[in-house]
Amino acid sequence: MAIVYHEQSKTFHLYNAAVSYIFKVLPSGHLGQLYYGKAIHDRPDFDRLFETSQRSMSVCYFDDDTTYSLEHIKQEYATCGTGDMHLPALAARMPDGSRLLDLHYQGHRIAPGKPALPGLPATYVEQDSEADTLTVLLADPLAGVTVELSYTIFADDPAIARHAVIGYTGPGTLQLDRAMSLCLDLPDMDYEMVELTGAWARERHVVTRPLAFGVQAVYSLRGCSSHHFNPFLALKRPNADEFSGEVYGFSLVYSGNFLAQADVDPYHVTRVTMGIHPQNFSWTLKAGESFTTPEAVMVYSDRGLNGMSQTYHQLYRTRLARGAWRDRVRPILVNNWEATYFDFNEDKLLGLAAEAKKLGIELFVLDDGWFTNRSDDRGGLGDWEVNTQKLPGGLKGFGEKLNAMGMQFGLWIEPEMVNPGTKLWDEHPDWVLHQPGRRPQPGRHQYVLDYSNPAVVDHLFRHFEQLFDGVPLSYIKWDMNRSISDAFSCTAGPDQQGAVLHRYILGVYRLYQLLTDRFPQILFESCASGGARFDPGMLYYAPQCWTSDDTDAVERLKIQYGTSFVYPVSSMGAHVAAVPNHQVNRITSLTMRANVAAFGAFGYELDLTKLGDRGKELVASQVAFVKRHRRLLQFGTFWRLKSPFDSNEAAWMTVSPDRRQAIAADYRILQEVNVGYRRLKLAGLDPDVLYRVTPLGSGAVAAGQAEEVYGDELMQAGLVTSDGSCGENFTGEGDFISRLYLVEAVR
């Protein structure tokens, strides 16, 4: 790993064994992009990669050089007014009304390690030797604007983290209207754009489309990163697949409104920008003040999409997630929501918990409905007072009863919302996002608290600190169940309203930080009506997230497959739920449901007391299997093998770091008859190791003859998975079939 500055050619080269990133100070003083891709040898001069051309109608920077136009030079951080006619990385309004910016190189510094971003989540290092950071200072003295571009390259990962700090030194105030975290010009457009798209109950479906001229983008204007688009995009070569080919990944460590786009000009240059969405955003800077953008993480892979994903998994699991639970296996839980909804009392809950304990489950999570005035979703949010008719001994008494039976205690909260009629609503109407005189828009019968106001965050921290103090809590599920409208703060001035949505997210981060500092042993799981805020920013505070409200095993194949493009398996809340499924009314077997949910933070969301003896035996065996293998399942190297978006089948596997053990999963959605033979090619194994492969049957109990096969044969020839459907002998298994294979090294 190194960051080198070649003084004579004014060239920066960031590189490690896998990736190189090269840019230089141009003759005009701007920063020009030269190369980003697979690692290449360093040398003093890469000027051969600098390209200019003379083109009609171009605005030239120098009067005597008609080839030097910033419209046609690949740049690092483009602005308005210098002849560049593309969408910029930075846009601002100066006190005189000017929107022109011309940033020139002033200097740089290179340091080991990686500094934190105050108030923002970001990747980090534990030792300075893990990364080097380059900071380049740019300035426009006439505008009084400075920009510090930060680049961190990690020693062991083909990943570069970027952000910008925009400062102001002039008179009056600067209005910042657009501040991207990342700007990158690539020399061609021969890519397909991969995005994670969906909606409630079908989050993060994989969509791939060829790049075209103009702008193609994903974004959110919902106040959260959203069910609809994830703050991620990838550019892959058309011949790249899961296992080979070039892929560039771009991921934003942010939980609010975002924009991620690829803008292709008529000369095939592709500009990638990513950051806070400029719509409804403005930030006022006075002299001496600065604004820090969220962090964007770029990943390069020449090993296909799996290679990109595995880099994100490793980096985000170990150097984004933090705290006591970062490296600990997740407890197996049961959540009462789909078992009881709002209709419960303490005896009913303890009965569920007692049954769960018998089956080996470790954690009981009490979901919505435990506080006063909460018999449905129309009341109670904001006051957070325990309903002692349901829980006579309060949270403390209920938690102690769970602990006495050997169960941990988890609790659901939704701290960002308020219902009308609560004391908080009546006493602090100015703490609700809305414009006075205009009727606010409800969502799920609730309204959004103004987290841009520090007093709101302080109040909620004190309230939850008092509520949790003395309660034997092991887990908190933090939910958020509506998008943000009426983004007007009653306590902010006119020139601050454009900052409300970003300050709101900063307030969410601050409350998370306060609570995780105060209760460091609690495992926090983030949630937003399922997966509406499954983003890297949340992982910094909560190492796992509720992946989707859709708990159907078949739908979860697509949801978890897509989520794995960026996020580690350990971060995906995945539960076995009741059937008929409460979202799609589908009936799948307990085995199918467990074999999908096992690849995540595993748990149950159904009334275990209503299972028959055979069902309870299956659950007990599933729990025992996950306990035995959960470090491998949650922290192994994850490989996607077959996409549920391409066929009737899906497959994936996880491999231990030493490649001595693996678990593969093969899923068939609809049964077929008289079809071709089937094989499943595995990945990530040691080709020279002899493995014992054991097919696992119902409830993850060994079923089928084990065989010993070398790793190269398993990866090149594959497992033979043909069954009765490959002929006329119907297997009798019906639809929704799943099989697990335990792969263990023999020698």
Catalytic residue numbers read 479, 549
Distance of CA 580 to the CA centre of its chain: 30
Instruction: Quote the radius of gyration of the chain (alpha carbons, Å).
Output: 27
Q: Which are the contacts of 347, defined by CB distance < 8 A and separation ≥ 6?
A: none
Return the SS3 of 591: helix
**∠ at Cα 228 (226, 233), nearest 5°?**
95
Asked whether 106 and 127 are in contact (CB, 8 A), the reply is no
Left if phi > 0, otherwise alpha if psi is -120 to 50, otherwise beta: which for 735?
beta
Helix, strand, coil fractions of the chain, as percent rounded to 5: 20, 35, 45
Residue with tokens 């009084």: 144
Residue with tokens 């409208």: 485
Q: Which H or E run contains 36?
A: strand 31-38
What are the DSSP E strand ranges found in 142-282?
A: 145-154, 159-168, 173-186, 192-197, 205-210, 214-220, 232-236, 247-253, 258-264, 270-276
Q: How many CB atoms within 10 Å of residue 405? A: 13
Return the SS3 of 339: helix
Residue with tokens 């953008």: 293
Return the SS3 of 446: strand
**CA–CA gap between residue 51 and residue 54 (Å, rounded):** 11
Establish how many alpha carbons lie within 13 A of residue 593's alpha carbon, considering only the half-sphere containing its beta carbon.
23
Asked whether 628 and 621 are in contact (CB, 8 A), the reply is no
Q: How many CB atoms within 10 Å of residue 67? A: 14
What residue type is 82 in one-letter code? T
Helices 590-597 and 613-635, packing angle to 10 deg: 20
**CA–CA gap between residue 637 and residue 654 (Å, rounded):** 5
Residue with tokens 């294979």: 741
Helices 613-635 and 346-358, packing angle to 10 deg: 70
**CA–CA gap between residue 141 and residue 294 (Å, rounded):** 25
Asked whether 235 and 192 are in contact (CB, 8 A), the reply is yes
